[in-house]
Structure 1
């Protein structure tokens, strides 16, 4: 009997029902459920041969192909949790995530890092070991841990969030209650495996008997190619950040290329853009589609709330308030003031989330875990304090307002501005740095960095960009660099981010 309490157990159940069905596909080919089961069993066996009892986490560095899910599933089937590392991220970031999680073992189809030693092979994947780091660090995690995904950190370094199988299966069960998910569905897996949206896309498909289509990174920047791929593959479930969906919607309208098989578009990660959705509804390009807006957090296992968006809801949406609906069945949301007291309907409050999706906390960061994962003294219920603000209307529906701190979202990625600033300050010629978000001509959010340079060692813009690209993933590299004589401050002497946009720029080429 399959263990439905685990992701891998649910996959086994689907593989047993229809082993010959396509489980995963990419532009070069496909794998059946039985082929994925066999290949992942080989990886699990290879890991068991070399793993010690303390090897609770395994780093997975796999490219965007149909074989990547095999590696992730192989780690889960070995009884361990996976730590996804995007091979296209800069070397320093790849090594940081690998070493920060304390993983001694690595499964990869990419080149080994300079300090990794191969231990064995399993199909196209190499099982390797890295040397001890941080005094042979090995963070204690539950044996039920499914994965650790790193998010941007306010201290300048990413932090790993620990999620168990039960938290993922609770998400999948809850979404199954509010959405009509079918074994015939073809799910687009559009996001990096190091971004938690992929957890929903990949395991949503493979635990319901669907097909996971791995979307190549090139299609993510080419709306015409993405539309053609969605149509050719018969995608029925598509998850997108609103900004990327905006490009897709405009391409569908421009080309007149309909997507009649599309059943769900799941939006998440940032505020919706009503104008993009209004145009989509007016065109009727996907006559059978239901638009679902979901608010979610890595720390509470991907999705927290949901709401269906129709043309009327989109036109009624306020620019400063994104409708995010009601909590999924396995979660509860309360809105609190700075003292932790619940606020009345219509009043803004911080989103506190409780329920079976709330994760275990941050790997190796007990103080930060205690700060953000709090227990209500009156009820004994454990909550995650999101730092996001919302209001609840009289009908009980939530509307997202914004952040309480310096965290922003760009294309769905949570970004701590201070992490980018720390990367800028690590360059010797930079004396001060501050980042902000602005809108480009297309109305899309982009990052802007203002820097005060040290003379006479002031680096050129190209040097600054190269330095950032070596430290940060592409979505965290500022679109615009501005040189200023001083950063603006308020009456209390603190950085005034709002004034950055009007701070006079010094003569310094911004194209690098």
Structure 2
């Protein structure tokens, strides 16, 4: 072979030529004519990092903390601090009322409250009743809200009345960890959103691994900036309170105000940051007092620009920076990468390696595992996998497949990537028209489908284009061809 070796990572050309030689040998011996070419390619095993895991309901840790230390603050918002004991009591009363109104296992209950202790109590009340919560942004257009509620046959309730705290906590039924915990809708290419169904045990596996790896405990606090319908909020709500830590919630008006974040971090001694990279960049631009307590940045949901890393290190020299990734369909996160020294060859921070009890695989168009450095589609398997899409078996079967070789069920992410040396996955973009804007998955086809429903629009094209001067920050644009008048 005549090769410009500088175009390839070290060792790749040698591995390719060795595979080529093995293929020729198999053909020459007569063995290679009936099998696939891939038999000559050495693909290392990619087993899930197994860790002992005992499934239980998402709220079980919170209830233990409420029993052991009822006076400790569990949720802090603009109205003050609510203790574990009081939050357990109010959510327990609400759970009893929900059961009387028809909630229970596999039933979906809408939660449409703004950031507040009430939002946390409502969510806890739903899952303690055995039902699953459907997060609805209070600012959703009425038509979108109606569609999501109808798609799940969700109960819509008068939350302020349910959370008045009057009465005693009834005996509540036990909740199966294999029952549905929440349904979060993501954008759909056909114009219809997809409701991802996640069970208690699936999400808890992710949360517990984060706690193990970074020693999250009762002295930690997290600033809950993510909307309830964005699954980073699942960790905020059930992660810190589950180990005795506190959730600090900004008012809705403060969710995009870095000056307010800085003040909350300092006043309430927030130690964990859990957002998309764009919000961390806003915090870095604004700055923090030198004595701030942040010790861990969990960054996920989008590309992490290389230029953001030194800015965060200047902001918080003692804090650990971690890249996390995955999909709503696989319970918050499935992959992590501690951000150490930056490699000059990187175009962005690597995707990383799988979290405990989760599988990350890169496969070709035939669903076969790719060797190192070969680009393919990233698939996720393991304990964290969602059931599928609510009321949509066709799309569930399309995106969740069973590997014929291993019998393992995996989610086809549509993300392109490749394995680097040492089992590290590199993210390389999308194979379809899905984009991410500030961490939110958006199917451009859904925007186009909505636009062409307007009688004045004949054709439409949507695109996510770089913001001026910010190549990694995307903004949505749409272009339409109007119907000819008359």
Report 1 or 2 for greater relative contact order, CA contacts < 8 Å, sequence distance ≥ 6. 2
Unaligned runs of 5+ in 2: 1-53, 167-175
- Contact 2:352-2:424 at 8 Å conserved across structures: yes
1:68 matched residue in structure 2: 119
1:187 to 222, 228, 232: 222
2:297 matched residue in structure 1: 265
1:130-181 Cα deviation digits (max 9, x unpaired): xxxxxxxxxxx99711111111111102110100011011112222232210
Aligned length in residues: 422
CA 1:362/1:4 → structure 2, altered by over 3 Å: closer, same or farther?
closer
Q: Give the alignment of 1:108-119 within 5 angstroms.
A: 108-109=159-160
Q: Give the alignment of 1:155-304 within 5 angstroms.
A: 155-252=190-287, 257-258=289-290, 260-281=292-313, 283=314, 285-304=315-334
| Aligned-partner Cα distance in 2 for 1:239–1:316 | 26
- Contact 1:55-1:105 at 8 Å conserved across structures: no
User: Shift of the alpha carbon at 1:418?
Assistant: 0.8
| Aligned-partner Cα distance in 1 for 2:205–2:380 | 14
CA 1:369/1:250 → structure 2, altered by over 3 Å: closer, same or farther?
same
Scaled by the length of structure 2, the TM-score of the pair is 0.83
| Aligned-partner Cα distance in 2 for 1:337–1:107 | 50
| Aligned-partner Cα distance in 1 for 2:309–2:263 | 20
1:453 matched residue in structure 2: 482
1:34 matched residue in structure 2: 85
1:123 to 156, 164, 171: 164
User: Shift of the alpha carbon at 1:259?
Assistant: 5.4
1:344 to 347, 350, 371: 371
- Contact 1:65-1:214 at 8 Å conserved across structures: yes
CA RMSD of aligned residues (A): 2.0
2:107 matched residue in structure 1: 56
Determine helix, strand or coil for the equivalent of 1:269. coil
User: Shift of the alpha carbon at 1:389?
Assistant: 1.0
| Aligned-partner Cα distance in 2 for 1:368–1:207 | 34
CA 1:142/1:207 → structure 2, altered by over 3 Å: closer, same or farther?
closer
CA 1:405/1:370 → structure 2, altered by over 3 Å: closer, same or farther?
same
- Contact 1:24-1:31 at 8 Å conserved across structures: yes
- Contact 2:106-2:132 at 8 Å conserved across structures: no
| Aligned-partner Cα distance in 2 for 1:143–1:247 | 39
1:185-207 Cα deviation digits (max 9, x unpaired): 01111111011111112211111
1:309 matched residue in structure 2: 339
- Contact 1:152-1:159 at 8 Å conserved across structures: yes
Which one has the largest radius of gyration?
2
1:333 to 360, 364, 375: 360
| Aligned-partner Cα distance in 2 for 1:421–1:398 | 32
User: Shift of the alpha carbon at 1:372?
Assistant: 0.8
2:48 matched residue in structure 1: none
| Aligned-partner Cα distance in 1 for 2:148–2:157 | 12
| Aligned-partner Cα distance in 2 for 1:447–1:52 | 38
| Aligned-partner Cα distance in 1 for 2:310–2:187 | 32
2:346 matched residue in structure 1: 318
Determine helix, strand or coil for the equivalent of 1:274. coil
- Contact 2:89-2:165 at 8 Å conserved across structures: no
1:23 matched residue in structure 2: 74
- Contact 1:55-1:104 at 8 Å conserved across structures: no
CA 1:435/1:124 → structure 2, altered by over 3 Å: closer, same or farther?
farther
User: Shift of the alpha carbon at 1:379?
Assistant: 1.3
| Aligned-partner Cα distance in 1 for 2:480–2:291 | 45
**Over 6 Å off, 4+ runs:** 52-55
User: Shift of the alpha carbon at 1:50?
Assistant: 2.0
1:210-244 Cα deviation digits (max 9, x unpaired): 10011233333222222222222211011121122
| Aligned-partner Cα distance in 1 for 2:163–2:281 | 41
| Aligned-partner Cα distance in 2 for 1:156–1:11 | 38
| Aligned-partner Cα distance in 2 for 1:430–1:248 | 40
1:73-131 Cα deviation digits (max 9, x unpaired): 0011111111111111111111111111111343534xxxxxxxxxx744189xxxxxx
Unaligned runs of 5+ in 1: 110-119, 126-140, 458-512
| Aligned-partner Cα distance in 2 for 1:43–1:229 | 29
1:100 to 134, 151, 155: 151
